[in-house]
Amino acid sequence: MTKHDAQNEITREASQAGPHAGYLPGFGNDFETEALPGALPQGQNSPQKCNYGLYGEQLSGTPFTAPQHQNERTWCYRIRPSVKHTGRFERFDLPYWKSAPLIVEGVTSLGQCRWDPLPLPKEKLTWLTGMRTMTTAGDVNTQVGMASHVYLVSASMEDEYFYSADSELLVVPQQGQLRFATELGIIDIGPEEIAILPRGLVYRVEVLDGPCRGFVCENYGQKFDLPGRGPIGANCMANRRDFKTPVAAFEDKEVPSSVLIKWCGQFHRTKIGHSPLDVVAWHGNYAPCKYDLKTYCPVGAVLFDHPDPSIFTVLTAPSGVDGTANIDFVLFRDRWMVAENTFRPPWYHKNIMSELMGNIYGQYDAKPEGFVPGGISLHNMMVPHGPDRDAFEGASNSKLKPHKLDHTMSFMFETRFPQHLTQFAAKEALIQDTYIDCWASIDKKFDGTPGLK
């Protein structure tokens, strides 16, 4: 451990006492943090000379001229400017990480789809080689839409770094613990947490406890934000203070290294002689964060009926059309069901939005069987779906009393765009060919006579 590493460690620990040591609370705050005392200029961004011989550099997450309430940028004070972290680029392929637009010949994305969990890797897979794209939507080149992925990670990236110019990544672990060593600090996450990695942020992913499996929503569009709560008011759902942004941490490491870049759906590699994680101090509002899903405070029906699932939105990425999200990230966690004279599970429906769901753990109330932890379902644009027969019969006939849905956590990536299956999702992943059969035994009850059937 170098003198600087030791100082780094002290700064991370001392920055905040308690369970969130090493993190700063708040969503979209204007943060400031320094790993060495006096590294952060005060009162200005760009002094003639920076302390410690650092270079000042701005990372812009929105156009310079974005409206004030949306404008995001961070000032970094680093050992070398980013231009020294790239050289000549060479193309390379990650055959399982796909981008939109992608419509695979011979594959239909129309229909109800469900997958068993992808097996945990026995071979060595990193964050990059272990990314498996399931669906893509929109167009990465025009910065609309998204992709959904499953990651299977068993090995840490070593002297290898990555950034996506295409996208912001929302990471939803299902198993194992990962470390994201980023330019702006260190995020450790596991199941029941999520992380947001902004577009353009350089990082290395390490396995803390593996093998690891989880889900990624790759957001090509405008950044994730908190949804407006409307008449719910100033509290509940996801609260700003529960988002945690890391304090500054840097590496002064001179070894042969690779930086890999995703740019317009293509992958590029460049070789450098040092670690690019060399930001000693930073301030700004464009930064990675993590969030503990157990702090999400669900709000629901307290007398009758079943609200739209949007009531459980954690994050929303706008599309430019009011109320029509590029992506909503929606959480179905443990909660009380108390509605009277109500069919309590989700109702049958068709939706203009397309819904990709993943199970983190437990049982989902509309599908007691077949949708298992690590598994995925896709109900695409205007494809009908709803409870299976057993869920319908159970919910229609049970004596209604307050009931706790316990030990359950599933989520949805919901987008305004249709989602197209990759070759991998259609042919290699464990798709359940018999999924449609879960509705086969729903019977006709109508016989023309009145009365509850």
Phi then psi dihedrals of residue 265, to 5 deg: 80, 0
Between the alpha carbon of residue 445 and those of residues 343, 400, 441, the distances in Å are 16, 21, 12
Residue 385 C-beta: closest distance to Fe ion, Å? 6
**Active-site residue (options: 4, 20, 69, 306):** 306
Q: Which is nearer to Fe ion, 224 or 332 (CB)?
A: 332
Nearer CB in complex with Fe ion: 133/380: 380
Q: How far apart are CA 102 and CA 80, in angstroms?
A: 38
- The answer to whether 5 touches 33, Cβ cutoff 8 Å, is no
The minimum distance between CB 315 and Fe ion, in angstroms, equals: 18
Structure tokens at 13: 């620990």
Q: Which two tokens stand for residue 154?
A: 């068993």
- In the chain, what is the greatest distance between 2 CA atoms, to the nearest angstrom? 86
Q: Which amino acid, one-letter code, is at 428? A: E
Nearer to Fe ion, 206 or 355 (CB): 355
Residue 229 CB, nearest distance to Fe ion (Å)?
A: 22
As measured in angstroms, the least distance from the Cβ of 108 to Fe ion is: 20
The CB-of-346 to Fe ion minimum distance in angstroms stands at 6
User: Rule CB under 5 A: which residues touch Fe ion?
Assistant: 355
Is residue 128 within 8 A of residue 102, CB to CB? The reply is: no
Q: Which is nearer to Fe ion, 243 or 312 (CB)?
A: 312
Query: Nearest approach, Cβ of 355 to Fe ion (angstroms)?
Result: 5
> How many Å apart are CA 418 and CA 108, to the nearest integer?
12
- Cα 260 to Cα 57, 340, 437, 439: the distances in Å are 20, 55, 44, 45
- The reply to whether 385 belongs to the active site is no
Q: Of 355 and 365, which CB lies nearer to Fe ion in the complex structure?
A: 355
Q: Indicate the residue whose CB is closest to Fe ion.
A: 355
Give the pair of three-digit tokens for residue 139: 């167009």
Looking at the Cβ atoms of 55 and 348, the one nearer to Fe ion is 348
**Hey, which residues are catalytic here?**
306
